[in-house]
Amino acid sequence: MIKLFRGVFFAIVASLVLFPSHLVATEGQEYIAIRKEGAGNIALVLDKLDAKGRKETGFAQDLDGIINGGLDFTKVFSIIQPPLNVKDDSDRKNIVINFPALTSVGAEVYVGGVVTMKSDDILLDMKVYEAAGSKLLMNKTYRGSAAALRSMGHAFCADLVELLTGKKSIFGSKIVFVSNKTGFKEIYECDFDGYGVEQLTKSKSICMNPALSPDGKHLAYIDFTSGRPTLYIKSLAGESVAAVGKSAVSIDPGWRSNSEVAATLSFDGSQAIYLVNTDGTIARRVTNSKSIDISPTFSPDGSKMAFVSSRNGLPQLFVQDLVSGDVKRLTFSGRYNTQPSWSPAGDKIAYTTWEKGGEINIFTINADGSGLMQLTQKCGENKSPSWSPDGEMIIFTSNRQGKEKLYVMSSKGGNERLLLQGDGEQTQPSWFLFR
């Protein structure tokens, strides 16, 4: 089961055979260049996929839903209904796209495609045009079995987002989290959009704070099976588990690189952060405060670590330079600041503040301490922020409707949406790119 966990999405995508693949990269670059920074959503006409035959038409309708849902989830696009006269297929051979009709409805980009079948495989031939210049930006064919429809649709969504924004997309990314639906806290994973929930641990104890290594090969988490909270590092390929042998407690791991995970270990008497190798051996001690130091999160290059410390009294965020050892206090607003998460671009750190009146809210702050932004308010307790791999969204938990559930929002605030509806409470989400 754990083996299967290693990314059903990419296993399937890897097996897709890509047919004439003309990514018109220079056109895409040009398109990105002419869009102003922060120009708002890309106005997109997403045409219904063409298909002949009953089977093909059914798959085309499914793919319409998958692609529409996927593109809508990103909140990168304003999806416009296609004008009625968008296509002229009167000569039966060449479909002519009516670009003036597209620009008249305000479309910047037109997406259309055809679904055909070859033996039992489905072929999805997608074309992307710039509406104003009638330019073909991309023409790519995706091939797969009926079981791979979702992967095929999302593979196109990923290519489209990357083409038009120049950034890696969230398609194919995964979320690990904790759920108590069985009566025990266990670790689960699901796709970026909440599909495909799978249970990863069956401890019948307490499992907490899951974190995947950047390469997706190791899952670090805290497990109470031995009677005390212990850091486990599970190799997802080999199913081997390394436990940190030191006694006392382990708290909240965060990966520095594919080979080193940091966590709090208290065997020396205080709650200090250590770097631990994937075999469970300790690489070195990082903090030395004699107070509580927890929740390490690293800059993308691994040179700096943000963490929570009670060294000045109530918990605040600090940043430590791992080379020089210098420590700077990051947060000065708010009495109880915890749960830092460093953005994938490296510029910001998301965290939570327990505020007067009992709300817990999510904030972002620049890594240099400037630019404090409040993302949630008047919504009860909002906790455990974790960035999407493209930095565009933040996943978090909220009890705004009673039980704690997983939500996503824009990393600039807004567009707050429930991700999963299910039994029990879902907590401590961690979003990672599965590449």
Nearest distance in Å: CB 5, another protein:
8
* Cα angle 204-209-210, degrees, rounded to a multiple of 5: 85
Residue with tokens 């631990």: 276
**Binder among 16, 44, 115, 292 for another protein (CB under 8 A):** 292
Write out the two tokens for 127: 């074309």
Binding residues for another protein, how many (CB under 8 A)?
71
* Given 398, 430, 432, 433, the residue binding another protein (CB under 8 A): 398
From the list 24-32, 38-46, 166-174, 425-433, the region that binds another protein by CB under 8 A is 425-433
First-to-last C-alpha distance (Å) of the chain? 19
Contacts of 398 (CB under 8 A, 6+ apart): 376, 379, 380, 381, 382, 383, 404, 405, 407, 416
137 contacts 23 by C-beta, under 8 angstroms: no
Helix, strand or coil for residue 26? helix
Q: Among 38-46, 168-176, 238-246, 289-297, which window interacts with another protein (CB under 8 A)?
A: 289-297
Q: Binders of another protein among 167-186, rule CB under 8 A?
A: 179, 181, 185
Q: What x/- string results for residues 328 through 367 when contact with another protein is judged by CB under 8 A?
A: -------xx-xx------------x-x-xxxxx-------
Distance of CA 358 to the CA centre of its chain: 28
Site for another protein in 211-240 (CB under 8 A): 224, 227-229
Of 35, 103, 379, 391, the residue at the interface with another protein (CB under 8 A) is: 379
A 10 A CB-CB count for 184 gives 16
Stated as kind and residue range, the H or E segment containing 97 is: strand 96-97
Residues from 236 through 265 that contact another protein (CB under 8 A): 248-249, 251-252, 264
| Calpha distance 359→186 (Å, rounded) | 26
Looking at residue 357, the DSSP 8-state letter turns out to be T
Token couple for 252: 């909240």
Cβ 277 to another protein, closest distance in Å?
Answer: 22
- Interaction between residue 60 and another protein (CB under 8 A): no
Q: Phi/psi zone of residue 92: left (φ > 0), alpha (ψ -120 to 50 degrees), beta? A: left
Rounded-to-10 torsion of CA 335, 382, 205, 261: -70
User: Would you count residue 19 as binding another protein (CB under 8 A)?
Assistant: no
Question: Using the rule CB under 8 A, is 188 a contact of another protein?
Answer: yes
Part in contact with another protein (CB under 8 A); list of ranges 21-29, 35-43, 194-202, 235-243: 194-202
Selected from 74, 141, 209, 316, the binder of another protein by CB under 8 A is 209
Find the shortest distance in angstroms from Cβ 377 to another protein. Answer: 8
Tell me whether residue 145 or residue 224 sits nearer to another protein (CB atom): 224
Window 293 to 312, contacts with another protein (CB under 8 A): 294-295, 308, 310
Residue 198 binds another protein (CB under 8 A): yes
CB of 296 to another protein, least distance (A): 11
From CA 152, how far away is CA 373, in angstroms rounded? 37
Which residue lies nearer to another protein by CB, 19 or 332?
332
Only one residue has tokens 């992307």, namely 128
